[in-house]
Structure 1
Amino acid sequence: MSRYSIELYFDPSLENQVLKSWNVLARRQISTHLIKIESRPHITLFSSLFVDPPRLEHALKSFCAKHDPLPITFFAIGSNSSEKNVLFLVPKPNVQLLQFQERLCEVLRKETGLELSEEFRVGGAGGSGGWAPWCAVGEEVSKGRMGEGFCVLREVVNLPVSGYGVDVGLVELGGPNSTVREVCSFVLGNGVDG
């Protein structure tokens, strides 16, 4: 069964900085997963199995037209040791980004009837848990190489790295080894009212 994600993409300069880290991790054979699935550097804003892509596309087009690009500054490297073993870049807390994601989820709920899981609610229940922005730079890293991956990233990524979130895409994620397929994407602040 496919899963759909709404992703915030970066301006070319910031995207290239993230791709640089992907390529170094791949050359060192620490992680090639994001390259193999043909992902694009991003921050996931929302994800669900149960979406109607045409309704979602219409809601996204209208939403993106009303919002300007978002400033993003990655200031730290983080990790999540789970079945995916992820290394990621952490953006500085940014009210604009948090409000953007919260408004997006509200529009999705109202216009498409999607129910939000706790992981995509800013602050979560009682202010704990919930959505937190991050940008994956390595996935499916073996547990024995997580530390090495972290050290490599500290050498390669000259933090802080700043740029903008400039467009939003809806992507379909197939099975465990399938590639990412972009359904649509919209530039922020394009002035088109869909």
Structure 2
Amino acid sequence: MSQGYGIELYFDPAMENQFYLKAMSQGYAIELYFDPAIENQVLGAWNLLAHRQISTHLIEIKSRPHITLFSCPLIDPLKLENIVKTMSYNAAVPISFTSIGTIPDDRNVLFFALTPSMALLQFHSQLCDALKKEGFEIGEDYRPGSWIPYCLVAEQVPKAQMAEAFTVLRDVKLPYYGYAMDVGLVEFSPVRKLYSTMLGTKDEE
């Protein structure tokens, strides 16, 4: 067997921890989750694409069908959790998925687009007001008036299979009608639930 030597550099504990955190988690997101019927329909689309070996990424990172309301880099999640708790006073939000879309970036994503109801837009605006009061900066993609609600169906689709993915999803019988029933806070990636609560309830914690 051949033998050799190498020179290795090691970081101080603080810097090593920073690299570890960056590798393990890139941020937090506040998400809306659906009633069981809608969730199962979205999961069916995920599984259909996985069965066709087009995309399994959302399944692999243990995501859950959702609408992202807000996302931010690593911060103290307790402040976000408290804001999520205040949103539980709101009633369930009616939603409707009406079309299939994509985003022109390197992630090669496909999604179910929503026709946003007034209730959904008001819910999002109320959340943003609460975030701003706590000093959170809201990126352009999540600001009221710019935010486009959607539910991811596939991510990291090979470019050569994008057309096939669209063809597969065209067999999905849209529109879907239902409700957003829960709001939650997750850490990513991989996805780890930190907190969730049903809408239309008063959180006593």
Question: What's the TM-score once normalised by structure 2's chain length?
Answer: 0.85
SS for the counterpart of 2:99 is strand
Structure 1 gap ranges (5+): 124-129
The aligned runs of 1:21-60 (5 Å cut-off) are 21-60=45-84
SS for the counterpart of 1:38 is coil
Aligned partners of 2:98 and 2:113 also within 8 Å:
yes
Report the AA paired with residue 197 of structure 2: F
Q: Could you tell me which residue of structure 2 aligns to residue 126 of structure 1? A: none
Q: Could you tell me which residue of structure 2 aligns to residue 115 of structure 1? A: 137
SS for the counterpart of 2:170 is helix
For residues 97 and 193 of structure 1, the distance between their equivalents in structure 2, rounded to whole angstroms, comes to 24
What is the total number of aligned residue pairs between the two structures? 181
For residues 54 and 80 of structure 2, the distance between their equivalents in structure 1, rounded to whole angstroms, comes to 36
- Counterpart pick for 1:159 among 174, 177, 195: 174
Aligned partners of 1:120 and 1:131 also within 8 Å:
yes
Percent identity between the aligned chains? Answer: 51
Structure 2 gap ranges (5+): 1-21
Q: Could you tell me which residue of structure 2 aligns to residue 89 of structure 1? A: 112
SS for the counterpart of 1:85 is coil
Aligned partners of 1:25 and 1:149 also within 8 Å:
yes
CA drift of 1:50 comes to 4.3
Q: Could you tell me which residue of structure 2 aligns to residue 4 of structure 1? A: 28
Q: Could you tell me which residue of structure 1 aligns to residue 98 of structure 2? A: 75
RMSD across aligned C-alpha pairs, in angstroms? 1.2
Structure with max Cα Rg: 2
Aligned partners of 2:30 and 2:84 also within 8 Å:
no
SS for the counterpart of 2:165 is helix
**Structure showing greater relative contact order (alpha-carbon pairs closer than 8 Å, 6 or more residues apart):** 1
Question: Any idea what the Cα deviations from partners look like across 1:115-172, whole Å, max 9, x if unmatched?
Answer: 111111121xxxxxx21000000100011111110110111x2111111100111100
SS for the counterpart of 2:101 is strand
Alignment pair present for 1:172 and 2:187 = yes
* Stretches (4+) displaced over 3 A: none
CA drift of 1:93 comes to 2.6
Question: Any idea what the Cα deviations from partners look like across 1:2-51, whole Å, max 9, x if unmatched?
Answer: 21011100011100000000000000011100000000000000000043
For residues 173 and 32 of structure 2, the distance between their equivalents in structure 1, rounded to whole angstroms, comes to 22
Q: Could you tell me which residue of structure 2 aligns to residue 103 of structure 1? A: 126
SS for the counterpart of 2:132 is helix
SS for the counterpart of 1:18 is helix
SS for the counterpart of 2:129 is helix
For residues 50 and 108 of structure 1, the distance between their equivalents in structure 2, rounded to whole angstroms, comes to 15
Aligned partners of 1:62 and 1:193 also within 8 Å:
no
